[in-house]
Amino acid sequence: MSKHSLTVFAISAFLALSLVAISGCGDKETFAPPSKEDIAEARPLVHAVNHFGFSLLKNIDRSNNKNTVISPVSVHDALSLTAQGAAGSTQTQMRDALGLSSLETSTTDKQWSTLIAALKTAGQSDKKTARDLEIANSLWYQKGFTLTDAFKSSAQDMFHAKATPLDFAGGDKASKINRWISQHTDKKLTDVISHTSQDDLIYLVNALYFHDDWADPFKQESTSQEPFTKANGQTHDVAMMHKTTSLPLYQTDSYQATCLDYQDRATSLYLFLPTGTNDIEPMIDSLADGEFDITVSTLNSGETTEVALGLPKTKANFSADLVPALKSMGFEDMFDPLKANFSRMLRTSEGPTSAVYISGVAHATQLEIDEKGTTAAAATVVEGKAMAARPPENPHIFICDHPYVCALVDNTTGSLLFLGIIMDPVH
């Protein structure tokens, strides 16, 4: 029987990771595991991150019926860091949209430091596991400017961001930023931004990487080609992994859910499968409205049942400009050159400058699920420019042969590190 130590702090359906340093990623900070008390104090932030993740998922344009995989932790981290440089109504608006309006800025700073340390150190005590989890932040700003003292302090002390001056006016610097992202995602994401411009003033970047093996791997000989029904009713064959084992199970009239542990037991993959329909939208609405918390809590009650599970081998790549979705969520002034106020971010020799607005928020992810385990990577780049149930007697059937939601959850903090809608596991 598998027991999970996850305490649910949030609304979310998400892939979550724990963190170990990746070789070849440059200088590494040493992080001490935070206390249980510090982790408990960070619960309001985790709740905000996870709720934000579902809101973002619902606001992203998904009319093309393709896979959508996001990292709520990555996007929230990058925007929270950006908000540290905002002032006045711009900062108020950002904190409201991030779900942080009820918390003091100093409180969320400390909570982000705790969350990053918790993710980086969870599972590290067991060196026999295959788990890697990397989360990193960086700042790239125009030479001739400096970071204000307050922004630099928050960025370095709380978000552990490394700051590097670049001459954007002297040529394209995208390769430098992309190289940093590649180094911190085990080369899974290599071309997140296409170019930089002469009027760029600052880039605020988060990178997130996860890899771990299943606690109970699928046997390759149990994988077979089977039909998967897409949202439009069309079918095609996919590599469906199978195993029958004792798993937690939760069922409602509209969906069923289960979860799989990874080797370190500090991370779990939650699966949400609509019942009797290929339309995934009602289930997403239900999960976002609170069913996710109820489902995860029930799955972590310790009860299990025999389940015949079918899970497709999956490789999903996703990238998007998040600006339209973020605007619909209440982030407005930060994108307006006439209204944005980031006067707490940069300064010149003459003093702080407010001549910064956010021109883009790029997000890219990759998710791979196979018989051995899971690998996931995410990057978020914020660009700042200058202005101008009861167990059945027989095995329960849980075959993900139509669109489903998967959520990777860090069991130490409850954070939604990744949240995915799989419309087609091979495209």
CA–CA separation, 387 vs 360, rounded Å? Answer: 13
pLDDT at 285: 93
- Measuring CA to CA, how many Å separate 104 from each of 51, 223, 426? 18, 51, 44
What is the CB-side half-sphere exposure of residue 210 using CA atoms within 13 A? 37
For 228-272, the pLDDT digits (tens) are: 999 989 999 999 999 999 999 999 999 999 999 999 888 999 999
With cut-offs at 50, 70 and 90, classify the pLDDT of residue 13: very low
Residue 408: name the closest of 53, 142, 45 by CA.
53
Q: Tokens at residue 242, please?
A: 């199978």
pLDDT at 1: 34
Count Cβ atoms below 10 Å from residue 26 Cβ, excluding itself: 11
- Average model confidence (pLDDT) for the chain? 88
According to CATH, the topology of domain 36-213+315-386 is: Antithrombin; Chain I, domain 2 (3.30.497)
Domain boundaries, the chain: 36-213+315-386, 220-314+390-422
For 318-369, the pLDDT digits (tens) are: 999 999 999 999 999 999 999 999 999 999 877 777 789 999 999 999 999 9
What percent of the chain is modeled with pLDDT above 90? 75
Predicted TM-score (pTM) above 0.75:
yes
- Asked if residues 374 and 211 have their Cβ atoms less than 8 Å apart, the reply is yes
For 152-206, the pLDDT digits (tens) are: 999 999 999 999 999 998 888 999 999 999 999 999 999 999 999 999 999 999 9
- Measuring CA to CA, how many Å separate 122 from each of 11, 185, 288? 21, 18, 26
Per-residue burial over 111-137, b = 16 or more CB atoms within 10 Å of its CB, e = otherwise: bbbbbbbbbbbbbbeeeebebbbbbbb
CATH 2.30.39.10 fits 220-314+390-422, yes or no: yes
CA–CA separation, 95 vs 103, rounded Å? Answer: 9
